[in-house]
Amino acid sequence: MNRNDYLALLDCYGNHFSISELEIQGPGTIDRMDIGFLRSFLAWRQWHGLSTMVSSAWRKGDPKSHGHGLAFDILLFDQWLVSQPSALQHWLLANTWGFRGVGLYFDWSYDNKNGKEVPAIGLHVDGWSGNGRSPRPLRWLRIDGHYYYQSLASGHFYCKSNKQSITLDEAIRRYGP
């Protein structure tokens, strides 16, 4: 696809992003995105209607979803750069759409309108089938740098490094806004 094709694609899904917003890792990186996943992501953005900031997309050298052009890391806002929806709303919006991978990050931050670093809830969404080692769909939380992966059987999240578990409700109560 050429630049005009991408502009037409963005227009088709409501013009919620510019090409440069999707090329956060550098000019021309939109060409590295899987076009089917990109369409799905744009349709999802149009569907949920929340202001969305892309913090990561295709990444060179990443052997996982970002390196395959099948992932976005994002921040969602009720009011642009001022307030975010709840962690539960982030979770429900991503899981309702049916992404293959969804991660909720309780340890992110962003620069607000006043140049101040503000704690934030980050969201990873992907369409990657995985590398065969992790079952898909894969759901996880990151809390204070620790990854907690969800059991498909119990729904609880477990961290191998600190050997602790947590439920989504507990994580939201403890760490969510």
pLDDT tens digit sequence for 65-75: 999 999 999 99
- In this prediction, residue 85 carries a pLDDT of 95
Which amino acid does the sequence have at 148?
A: Y
pTM (two decimals): 0.94
Q: Report, as an integer, the average pLDDT of 33-40.
A: 97
Calculated CA dihedral for residues 113, 140, 73, 57, nearest 10 degrees: 160
Q: Which residues pair with 76 in a beta bridge?
A: 52
- Measured distance CA(118)–CA(68) in Å, rounded: 30
Domain coverage including residue 86: 3-175
Number of domains in the chain: 1
- In this prediction, residue 130 carries a pLDDT of 82
What does the chain come to in residues? 177
For residue 177, pLDDT beyond 80 = no
- Residue 47, token pair as written in the block: 């569907």
- Measured distance CA(148)–CA(71) in Å, rounded: 19
